[in-house]
Amino acid sequence: MNDENQKTECCPKFDPASWQDKNFIWDHKKFIKDKVFTLFYMPMNFGAVMKKVNEKMEKAGAKIPNWLFLSDHTSKWNMDLYVAVDKDIPDATNVTMHGKFLSKVYEGSFKDTGKWCKDFAEYAKGKGLAVKKMYMWYTTCPKCAKKYGKNYVVIVGQLK
């Protein structure tokens, strides 16, 4: 195998079995929060925000457990980005999440996000659960999704 074949992209390969149909509890799970400008929900400055976040994390010597990035589309113009971290990061907005959560994995084009959200709400309801808030986890960038041949998206729902 030559060096070109061994070269990896920026995102690790995602294992959907780890997150498919899972109930779990987070007890003050650490994240840093930043904002991404969106135009009708399409991220416009995601790369610049990730560069800024990454610089802060590198400076602090922090890691991203499970390569977990949660997105909360708060409007057509904004997306709050939550990056999981293994410790508090200076000069960043450090937040924690705690409570009961449910996750389900989807695969396909981002244009199906609306269908996925509707399906997730029905899925939770079918389990007798009420969702307080939904987060989207885009597990790989478009370049890596193309390389791996799958575009996995996980919906992580915080339960009431």
Q: 38-92 pLDDT, tens per residue?
A: 998 888 998 899 999 999 999 999 999 999 999 999 999 999 999 999 999 999 9
Q: What is the pTM of this model?
A: 0.89
Helix (H, G, I), strand (E, B) or coil at 15: coil
- Closest by CA to 157, choosing from 116, 118, 120, is 120
Q: 94-110 pLDDT, tens per residue?
A: 999 999 999 999 999 88
- Closest by CA to 96, choosing from 104, 105, 86, 108, is 86
- Closest by CA to 153, choosing from 122, 127, 114, is 114
Does pLDDT of 1 surpass 80?
no
What are the backbone angles phi and psi of residue 70, rounded to the nearest 5°?
Answer: -105, 140
Alpha-helical regions (H) of the chain: 3-6, 46-60, 113-126, 142-148
Q: What pLDDT is attached to residue 8?
A: 54
Band of the pLDDT at 4, cuts 50, 70, 90? very low
Q: 117-149 pLDDT, tens per residue?
A: 999 999 999 999 999 999 999 999 888 999 999
